Structure 1
Amino acid sequence: MAADPVSSATQQRADELKGEANKYFGQAQYAQAIAVYSDAIELSPSAVLYSNRAFAHLRTEAFGLAIEDARKALALDPRYVKAYYRLGSAYVALNKYRHALKVFKQLAKLAPKDRDVRTKLTLCEKEVKRAAFEAAIAVEAPKPLSETLDLDSMTIPDNYEGPRLGDGDEVTADFISGMLDWMRDEKLLPKRIVASVLVQLKRILASLPSLVDVDIPEDEQTYMSVLGDTHGQFYDLLNIFKINDRPSPTRPYLWNGDLCDRGSWSFETTFTAFAYKVLYPQSVFINRGNHETQNMNKMYGFEGEVMKKYDANIMALFTECFRTLPYAHVIEKKVLVVHGGLFKDDGVKLDDIRKIPRGGEPPESGIGSDILWSDPQPFNGRGPSKRGVGLSFGPDITERFLKDNNLDLVIRSHEVREEGFLEEHDGKLITVFSAPNYCDQMGNKGALIRFRKNNMKPDPVTFEAVPHPDLKPMAYASNLGMFGL
């Protein structure tokens, strides 16, 4: 159905708003771009405006909204090529390759000579075939690499002058101290050392439940620090250690997921947390985030980075560790820490979280998906997720969950906050995000949340971004070639 005609003055104003929104987009101010595109759409809806807004939604990982806008664009102009790109890209981001394949097949009919379209179509075909092959051989899956890798056959180069593990490949405080200095100078650890640490970590994680209970030591000088997303911003992580001290039995840390992707030192950021977990298994804790998943690692840079710096075996070990990370921690029986948020259904108990299966990729639905992907909303009830997976949940949902489980607070991450943290849902939920000036573009502060045993009152600490070497975010990302248009 064609849109009602608009006056020339209205169309002129819509075009002005489009130009303004495009400028915001070019400055990576995606929220402002979305708002202004929306104003333009109110005046004069068009395929271009919906497609542009879909692109902005893609950049904020609001994949569900991107799909919705791309479909609206195609309803107005079924031959609008960029809308097909947006739609296919969103499906790829959600690991829905069969849907993406249909989109790119349609696009190939519109642009049969476009080499980029053919490349994307081929990529989707390969992913669909790969998924079918993996499903077919699932019953005959080989043993994990962590159980079969011959570490003794791996050698450290004679000219290596960096930090070394202790006797028996023990991770020591001296090793980590030297490792941080070594990696700060953009030097690589030998593959033998990396593999040994990851194998040790996998064994530690495999012994844990999907929800881990954490007690803070009685010492009045001890506090637990909860970090939100760090997303490969290694130099900001080093600054956190400078501000807050390094992890230790008197400075326990809980990383709340999304250690990797986007930032171009994702190996260093993730391996630092993992090495500390091996050194202090009773004082360092790590939740799985939605970016500790295979599909996100393919798209947002971690796999490309590890393959550039190491090889497929090291990436396979990281994937094993990601698949074995817990989904939640409860601090002092009062504070639940999860990456994304709460659940589609009422009545979820902590024991249900403890029983979430691990060892593979998260399911597309259910509490194992909700806990990684959901976001809070300011009004009561539940709503569809802007991301196309998980849900939006209101203050009443948070209050009910806390009451049902005798908890006081939910800490979650998963979203940028201007000050690095934000109290929401009447103070019963806090979002914490620890990657300042996210992707070198957002201008936000980072934050962490401290807790002491004696009162368990959340104590936020904020910080600004620090300089890093001249390497842009997403330097290793492939995005399957999808998001550049």
Structure 2
Amino acid sequence: MAEGADGASGEQHDQAEGMKAKANQYFKDKDYDNAIKYYTLAIELNSENAIYYGNRSLAYLRTECYGYALSDATKAVELDKKYIKGYYRRATANMALGKFKAALKDYDTVVKVKPNDKDAKMKYQECNKIVKQKAFERAIANDELKRSVVDSLDIESMTIEDDYTGPKLEDGKVTLKFMKDLMQWFKDQKKLHRKCAYQVRSCCFLISRLAVAQCNREMSGLQRHKIMHGGLFSEDGITLEDIKKIDRNRQPPDSGPMCDLLWSDPQPQNGRSISKRGVSCQFGPDVTSRFLEENKLDYIIRSHEVKPEGYEITHNGKCITVFSAPNYCDQMGNQGAYIHLTGSDLKPIFHQFKTVPHPNVKPMAYANSLLQMGMM
């Protein structure tokens, strides 16, 4: 039987192309899970085709599985050094993971090959700016510079021009009227005056300081569930007392309990595995059971993961994911949900909702622009 240029037999090549075509359609329909499934089937039929890996990488980017996206993009480049979309998607994944130097190297490759690509040039400049900024921050870092800029601003000396008709704080206080006016002002896509913005920022900063000071006191002994952003830990033995001791008033580290609370995800099989996001880990039902038993909890509630129905119950009912952003980024088609905890046993009741019209502004434009370069 004849082989294709990529080493697959003619029949396998045709079957793989059929899987890719199905995957492309699912991708266009924003059903990224099925797109990933059929790209995977195409790869199983023909593992030497860079485009299949590149397309699956893009689908992983859309589902924020940056670790998997990085792996696929790297494989695509290994298979075809001239596959420019592979470099672009690897740069995108590295940007999302905070690996700016690695991203810059790939953006540089893209720009050299496509010097007239405005989007690639913009990404290169954006990434280069971040790399230089990070280097500058490391060079000048000292204890004095750890103070917030809010502490050094002379907000009261700022003047509000007479022609500004937007919302203003009343004697520097954030009132209900101000918040209602602010909501309408933003719906009309208008900009808040910088003095008002700094005043609001100053209030939020003070509140955050109080929250950090008080958060450790809020963990009641009667509480039978634990709420976090991501999930559980890369190692056993972490207790609620350990969580209380975490210094939250800082940038998240690349590993450790704080990192895990933000970025880990549940998986159906027991044990732990490498994270699809490229940071922290994935944890199984046995990990959840041990944590709950050791800390005398009934279940955990976490977010940070798009779910078609807005929520998902896994790990034998002991791990609940709830995601409150419907049609995430205007492209996922998911419902949103929130939980109402009732009764003495804090039994969760789920409320689902769909998206509603919003102002004509691109959702998460800063992030969506990283996901350019279509399928093949």
The equivalent position to 2:283 in structure 1, one of 389, 393, 397, is 393
Cα separation, 2, equivalents of 1:340 and 1:210: 22
SS at match of 2:215: strand
Instruction: For residue 425 of structure 1, report the CA deviation from its aligned partner.
Output: 1.2
User: Which 10-residue stretch deviates more, 144-153 or 191-200?
Assistant: 191-200
Aligned partner letter, 2:330? D
Describe how 1:448-467 pairs up with structure 2 within 5 A: 448-452=338-342, 454-467=344-357
Are 2:76 and 1:73 equivalent residues in the alignment? yes
Query: Deviation of residue 99 (structure 1)?
Result: 2.2
* Partner secondary structure for residue 156 of structure 1: coil
Match of 2:139 in 1: 136
Q: Which residue pairs with 1:146 in the alignment?
A: 150
Read off the aligned partner of 1:385 and give its amino acid letter: S
Kindly provide the CA deviation profile for residues 201-220 of structure 1, in whole angstroms up to 9, marking residues without a partner as x.
Answer: 211211334882687xxxxx
- Could you tell me the percent identity over the aligned residues? 45
Does the 8 Å CA contact 2:187/2:359 hold for their aligned counterparts? no
- Structure 2 equivalent of residue 437 of structure 1: 327
Task: Tell me the distance in 1 between the aligned counterparts of 2:217 and 2:357.
Answer: 34
Quote the Cα distance in structure 1 between the aligned partners of 2:311 and 2:95.
Answer: 30
What value does the CA root-mean-square deviation take over the aligned residues?
2.8
Name structure 2 gaps, 5 residues minimum: none
Are the equivalent residues in 2 in contact too, given 1:214–1:331 (CA < 8 A)?
no
The one-letter code of the counterpart of 1:61 is: E
- Which structure's CA Rg is the greater one? 2
Q: Which amino acid aligns with 1:428?
A: K
Q: Secondary structure at the match of 1:333?
A: coil
8 Å CA contact 1:213, 1:332 repeated in 2: no
Using the TM superposition, give the Cα deviation of residue 134 of structure 1 relative to its aligned residue in structure 2, in angstroms.
0.8
Determine which structure has greater relative contact order: mean sequence separation of CA pairs < 8 Å that are 6+ residues apart, divided by chain length. Answer: 1
In 2, Cα distance between equivalents of 1:469 and 1:336? 35
Q: Evaluate the alpha carbon distance shift between residue 142 and residue 11 of structure 1 in structure 2; reply closer, same or farther with a 3 A threshold.
A: closer
1:423 match: secondary structure: strand
Name the CA shift for 1:63/1:331 in 2 (closer, same or farther; >3 Å): farther
Which residue does 1:337 correspond to in 2?
227
Out of 178-187 and 435-444, give the one that drifted further.
178-187
- Asked if the contact 1:211/1:354 (under 8 Å) is kept, the reply is no
C-alpha change, 1:142 and 1:41, in structure 2 (3 Å) is closer
Contact 1:211 1:330 in 2 (8 A): no
Cα distance change, pair 75–412 in 1 and its aligned pair in 2 (3 A): same
- Confirm or deny: 8 A CA contact 1:209 1:355 kept in the other structure: no
- Structure 2 counterpart of 1:477: 366
- The residue number in structure 2 matching 1:376 is 266
Q: Distance in 1 between matches of 2:165 and 2:104?
A: 49
Q: Give the match for residue 93 of structure 2.
A: 90
Decide whether the 8 Å contact of 2:313 with 2:319 is kept in 1: yes
2:205 is matched with: 202
Matched, 1:6 2:8: yes
Q: Does 1:29 align with 2:35?
A: no
**Structure 1: distance between partners of 2:213 and 2:305:** 23
Aligned pair count reads: 367
TM-score, structure 2 as length reference = 0.87
Paired with 1:471 and 1:135, the residues of 2 have a C-alpha distance of: 35
- Taking a change above 3 Å as real, the CA distance of residues 174 and 453 of structure 1, as seen in their structure-2 partners, is farther
Per-residue CA deviations over 1:401-433 (Å, capped at 9, x if unaligned) read 122222222111111111111111111111111
Shift in CA distance, 141/336, structure 1 to aligned 2, threshold 3 Å: same
Following the alignment from structure 1 to structure 2, what is the Cα–Cα distance between the partners of residues 424 and 123?
Answer: 39
Give a deviation string over 1:290-311, Cα, whole Å, max 9, x none.
xxxxxxxxxxxxxxxxxxxxxx
Uncovered stretches (5+) of structure 1, i.e. residues with no partner = 216-328
1:123–1:180 Cα change, 3 Å: closer
